[in-house]
Amino acid sequence: MPGAVFLPGDRVSLHTIEEADLEVLNRNVNDPRVRRPMTSASVTTMTETQEFYENVVCDDDGVNLLICVDGDDGEDDSDDDGDEDESDGDPEAVGDVALFDVDERTRSAEVAIALDPEHWGNGYATAASRLLVAYAFDERNLHRLQARVMATNEASRRIWEKLGFVHEGRIREDQFDDGEYRDTHYFGLLESEWRAGND
């Protein structure tokens, strides 16, 4: 059972990350489908995820939240017999979002997301990111958000474009994946643009 709801939404809600959720985080961060687009080539043990929990989740200026899908979102399962099955009702953890590198002076921060590949293609990443972006501007008084995407990662790029992020640059060959140097796209969103887009 995930922690308390922090940012409620229609299809996904963002909950506090609790120690009991670390397995989901650890599975994602080791899954090549998740870690490679996130430019991680490192092995992450449960011990390290535990340290991440203690040093970053619990003790950092950033914000890390668990993405949960309502048990009755309807995406899952099989049985259309109308019976309650055991997953019904309980929010299911599918990934995490982070607001990090928060610079209090320049009012800027970076956003990132990791989603279990079993749940890709349902718009959860965009929904979760939208909640986090609104929080960053509405509650944290940030001026600018940044997102970085490896040039090969079309799906992630679409998230930020849908949310109105502006493509600010293509940094050449600063990443390495699948045997090649890769470009990174930089996206940025200013508070004023976010407000204009939500009027």
Q: Rule CB under 8 A: which residues touch other proteins?
A: 39, 41, 105-108, 143-144, 146, 166, 168-176, 181, 186, 188, 190
Q: Is the separation of the CB atoms in 34 and 81 below 8 Å?
A: no
Q: In whole angstroms, what is the distance from residue 148 CA to residue 140 CA?
A: 21
Quick one: tokens of 69? 């899908």
Q: In whole angstroms, what is the distance from residue 10 CA to residue 48 CA?
A: 33
Least Cβ distance, residue 96 to other proteins (angstroms): 23
Task: Please say which residue, 130 or 148, places its beta carbon nearer to other proteins.
Answer: 148
Conformational region of residue 192, where left means phi above 0, alpha means psi within -120 to 50, and beta covers everything else: alpha
Task: Please say which residue, 77 or 168, places its beta carbon nearer to other proteins.
Answer: 168
Task: Please say which residue, 135 or 165, places its beta carbon nearer to other proteins.
Answer: 165
Least Cβ distance, residue 37 to other proteins (angstroms): 14
Least Cβ distance, residue 63 to other proteins (angstroms): 19
Q: Is the separation of the CB atoms in 17 and 57 below 8 Å?
A: yes
Least Cβ distance, residue 41 to other proteins (angstroms): 6
